[in-house]
Structure 1
Amino acid sequence: MLLSCLLLSHPALSNPEQSSEQELAQVQEDIRSTEQRLKQQQQAFAAAEKQLQQADQTLAEAGNQVRRQQQALDRTQQRLQELESEQDQLQQQFDEQQKRLAEQLRSAYQLGKHDYTQMLLNQQDAAQLERVLIYYQYFNRARMQQLQAIEATAAQLQQVQVELQQQQQQLTEQLASLQQRQQQLQSARQEQQATVQSLQALLQEQGRQLEYLRQNESSLQATIDALKAKAQQITMDGLTALQGRLQWPLQGQLLQRYNQAREGGLRSRGILIAGSEGAEVAAIANGQVIYADWLKGYGWVLVLDHGEGFMSLYGHNQSLLKEPGAQVAAGEQIALVGRSGGQASAGVYFEIRDKGEAVNPLSWLQSR
């Protein structure tokens, strides 16, 4: 009797159908909860990626503003040096003209010891009178010319001094503006680094590091494939004749080599060269810009077409200095070193592609 009561009192045994329904409801609730959590993770990840792109954009703009302001400052300083040199030359010229005028005045004084009026009235020596008249005319013309030259030099000197003052004022304003831009750049760098750390923490928390790397590689390969058709329209000499003699895009330590193993067994298709933020990135050879934009995982990327199916790629830049369609020469500045796209340290990611396939850049660049 007691056993029967216990069996009846157990919910699973007393009503098997009701128990199955409860279990099904619990499973459905778990599924909904998992889907909701996954959706929230995806939203958080998408927001982090968007925030990273915005941080890279802000930093690029700040970097370009600093560069433009520095170039304007350099031009002003150069103009100041030219004006100071011109001022020195004009001052020397002015002093020399005054010296010559003084000599002329002394000569005129010596000539003036002759009694000019008496010689005219006396007229005993017509030849001497004629010579004196010629001398007076000569000295008068010389004095007038010298005075005009002194007046012109003085006007030039005054004009240079006015421009010097204007340039010095402009220089002071540009220095203040540059300092402000540099502070904005520093704030943008700090914001970018905080965003990178936030994204990395989110990837680790969600266990999506490998998936993220694979997505980035797929995005890059899709971009390269799309550029192949565009590259076929450009006629250039390619890189074959320059193999082993191409200049480096940046001088720095190699942080990652070609074909080096990465997380999840992935292999690097390029090299990563360490550099200082804001340093200049150079084109390895003559080429034309066929891509200059932000790319997921690689930040600000610039791609050059060198003809004959050869392309070079420069990633993780702070900002880009060239736009699509621009012709560039070997060694020309094309970007500034950065850490865009989620890179932990400053540097340039560099690839060489031959008909879309990655090749070892170290076999093409100059040995060092």
Structure 2
Amino acid sequence: MLSTVYGSTAWAQQSTASARKELESLQQEIKQTERQRRDQRQALKRAEAELKKADQVLAEASQAVRAEQDKLQTLQQQQQQLEQQQQQLEQQRQQQQQLLAAQVKAAYQVGGHDYTQLLLNQQDASKLERLLTYYQYFNNARMQQLTALKTTVDELAALKQQADSNRLEQEQRLAQLTAQQQELAAARKNQHASVQQLQALLQDQKQQLEYLKSNEQSLQATIAKLKAQAANRRLKHSGKTGSLPWPVKGAISQQFGAQQGGGMTASGVIIQAPTGTAVKAVADGQVIYADWLKGYGWVTVVDHGNGLMSLYGNNQTLLKTPGEVVKSGDTLALVGQSGGQNAAGLYFEIRQKGSAVNPLRWLRAP
């Protein structure tokens, strides 16, 4: 009997010890998993920060290249104008030289006799006066032609100097543009690396869902804030569905309402377009947001009035600032892949009274 009780007690103690050991092991695993999840969240935050930084550098490099291209184009146009002016002045110089040569020849023919002798031989006072007047007029005409010729030659020299200076500046601008394009290429490479790093961290479905929900919450909060501000504006949009032009031309790579990772659905469409393509406003309105937004990269939002807003995301760089009034067809941004996209394209939304609607219903048939 005692042996039975003792045996049962020993078994219970062993079972308790085993259970305690298993519990401790499980608690250790939970702690380790929590540490891993915490490390992953921190790594994700770092990756997001790196992506935002890469997007900012790329946007600045893109704007610098665009500005340098505009300056170079202006210089080239100025060079063409200078060359045209040079041609006109050269023709003018040749005409003036020919006219002066003709005057000198005529003076030689008329004045083949000694000028002083002609005057002394003149007995008629009226003829003498006419002769003096003629010679004075002839001399003045030659002096005017000489002065005009000198002015033209001076203008030609100044134009040549200006053209040479212009050409030198073009060469410098071209060298600077080449350097900035190299910086732009490096920025794109860094952006791609940041995207790859972020995508690798989002392989876990649960983490991807959390990331997408966080992005959606960020966008919803921004839209809600913009909606509240829109109540103070008096814009009126009179457009109808199916009447708006496309912001960019291209194929749809993501449909409205499409399933995304983690069971989320898309609130907008993605229109494929080459990097740097101009993003156009679909209607008249006012820019109410132009900044970097988590998950959507560089975003511009335009308020069209009557509760209608259009959103343009994943841009390479933004060209309008909040408060600017825009017309339909105005360039708002340049297509890119900011915000963590694998390929270039425009993320496009239309919001009606704060709610996302299918933007394709508002756009004209392609």
Match for residue 68 of structure 1? 67
Q: Secondary structure at the match of 2:180?
A: helix
C-alpha separation in 2, matches of 1:316 and 1:235 = 29
The residue identity in structure 2 corresponding to 1:306 is H
- Cα RMSD, aligned residues only: 2.2
Match for residue 21 of structure 2? 22
Q: Secondary structure at the match of 1:319?
A: strand
Q: Does 2:338 correspond to 1:340?
A: yes
Match for residue 151 of structure 2? 152
Post-superposition CA distance 1:240-273 (Å, at most 9, x none): 3354332221111221222333344433222211
Match for residue 359 of structure 1? 357
The answer (yes or no) to whether the contact 1:320–1:334 under 8 Å persists in 2 is yes
The residue identity in structure 2 corresponding to 1:249 is P
C-alpha separation in 1, matches of 2:142 and 2:11 = 127
Between 56-65 and 259-268, report the one with greater CA deviation.
259-268
Task: Identify the match of residue 257 of structure 1 among 255, 264, 281.
Answer: 255
C-alpha separation in 1, matches of 2:18 and 2:257 = 57
The answer (yes or no) to whether the contact 1:339–1:346 under 8 Å persists in 2 is yes
C-alpha separation in 2, matches of 1:11 and 1:100 = 132
Q: Secondary structure at the match of 2:317?
A: strand
Q: When the two structures are aligned, how many residues end up with a matched partner?
A: 363
The answer (yes or no) to whether the contact 1:219–1:296 under 8 Å persists in 2 is yes
Post-superposition CA distance 1:115-170 (Å, at most 9, x none): 43233223334343333222211111111111111111111111111111111111
The answer (yes or no) to whether the contact 1:41–1:206 under 8 Å persists in 2 is no
Match for residue 237 of structure 1? 236
Q: Secondary structure at the match of 1:241?
A: coil
Between 332-341 and 227-236, report the one with greater CA deviation.
227-236
Match for residue 99 of structure 1? 98
Match for residue 186 of structure 1? 185
The answer (yes or no) to whether the contact 2:206–2:262 under 8 Å persists in 1 is no
Alpha carbons of 1:102 and 1:242: their partners in 2 closer, same or farther (altered >3 Å)? farther
Post-superposition CA distance 1:322-366 (Å, at most 9, x none): 111122222121111100011111011111112112222222222
The residue identity in structure 1 corresponding to 2:299 is V
Match for residue 164 of structure 1? 163
C-alpha separation in 2, matches of 1:46 and 1:11 = 52
Q: How does 1:321-332 map to 2 (within 5 A)?
A: 321-332=319-330
Give 1:200 deviation, angstroms: 0.9
Where do 5+ consecutive residues of structure 2 fail to align?
none
Alpha carbons of 1:13 and 1:259: their partners in 2 closer, same or farther (altered >3 Å)? closer
The answer (yes or no) to whether the contact 1:271–1:349 under 8 Å persists in 2 is yes
Alpha carbons of 1:148 and 1:348: their partners in 2 closer, same or farther (altered >3 Å)? same
C-alpha separation in 1, matches of 2:274 and 2:107 = 70
Match for residue 280 of structure 2? 282
Match for residue 297 of structure 2? 299
C-alpha separation in 1, matches of 2:357 and 2:26 = 51
The answer (yes or no) to whether the contact 1:73–1:175 under 8 Å persists in 2 is yes
Q: Secondary structure at the match of 2:356?
A: strand
The residue identity in structure 1 corresponding to 2:147 is Q
The answer (yes or no) to whether the contact 2:100–2:142 under 8 Å persists in 1 is yes
Q: Secondary structure at the match of 2:291?
A: strand
Give 1:177 deviation, angstroms: 0.8
Q: Does 2:90 correspond to 1:88?
A: no
Match for residue 208 of structure 1? 207
Percent same amino acid at aligned positions?
A: 50
The answer (yes or no) to whether the contact 2:209–2:263 under 8 Å persists in 1 is no
The answer (yes or no) to whether the contact 1:12–1:18 under 8 Å persists in 2 is no
The residue identity in structure 2 corresponding to 1:102 is A
Alpha carbons of 1:241 and 1:203: their partners in 2 closer, same or farther (altered >3 Å)? closer
Where do 5+ consecutive residues of structure 1 fail to align?
none
Match for residue 267 of structure 1? 265
C-alpha separation in 2, matches of 1:11 and 1:275 = 75
The residue identity in structure 2 corresponding to 1:36 is R
C-alpha separation in 2, matches of 1:14 and 1:233 = 74
TM-score by length of 1: 0.92
C-alpha separation in 2, matches of 1:67 and 1:60 = 11
C-alpha separation in 1, matches of 2:134 and 2:124 = 16
Alpha carbons of 1:11 and 1:162: their partners in 2 closer, same or farther (altered >3 Å)? farther
Q: Secondary structure at the match of 2:217?
A: helix
The residue identity in structure 2 corresponding to 1:359 is V
Alpha carbons of 1:322 and 1:94: their partners in 2 closer, same or farther (altered >3 Å)? same
C-alpha separation in 2, matches of 1:187 and 1:292 = 25
C-alpha separation in 1, matches of 2:355 and 2:17 = 62
Give 1:278 deviation, angstroms: 1.5
C-alpha separation in 2, matches of 1:205 and 1:89 = 72
Q: Secondary structure at the match of 1:35?
A: helix
Alpha carbons of 1:25 and 1:264: their partners in 2 closer, same or farther (altered >3 Å)? closer
